[in-house]
């Protein structure tokens, strides 16, 4: 019986270590899949930034017209 206890302790430690490594690898895999999913779907970009850019362009046009002496 004296020879089996250290062997069981090493086996349990090995299983625990393997479990932790497996969980870390699974988390990394899921993270990588999320990154790839965002790349495929376009990163969840919305049309709102294009609306803001269009508004800024309109403001610049108005300011240029005012600077040239033409009011819109």
Ranges of each domain in the chain: 1-41, 45-72
Q: What are the φ and ψ backbone dihedral angles of 70, each rounded to 5 degrees? A: -110, 120
Q: Is the pLDDT of residue 10 over 60?
A: yes
Q: Is the pLDDT of residue 71 over 80?
A: no
pTM for the full model? 0.51
Q: Give per-residue pLDDT as tens, 38-69.
A: 888 876 565 555 567 888 889 999 999 888 88
**15: pLDDT confidence band, cut at 50, 70 and 90?**
very high
Give the pLDDT score at 52: 78
Contact criterion met (CB below 8 Å) for 70 and 60: no
For the chain, report the end-to-end CA distance as a whole number of angstroms.
96
Q: Is the pLDDT higher at 49 or at 4?
A: 4
């Amino acid at each position: 019986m004296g020879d089996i206890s250290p062997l069981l302790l090493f086996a349990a430690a090995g299983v625990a270590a393997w479990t932790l490594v497996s969980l870390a690898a699974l988390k990394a895999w899921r993270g990588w899949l999320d990154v790839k999913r965002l790349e495929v779907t376009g990163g969840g970009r919305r049309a709102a930034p294009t609306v803001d850019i269009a508004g800024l362009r309109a403001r610049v046009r108005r300011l240029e017209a005012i600077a040239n002496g033409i009011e819109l």
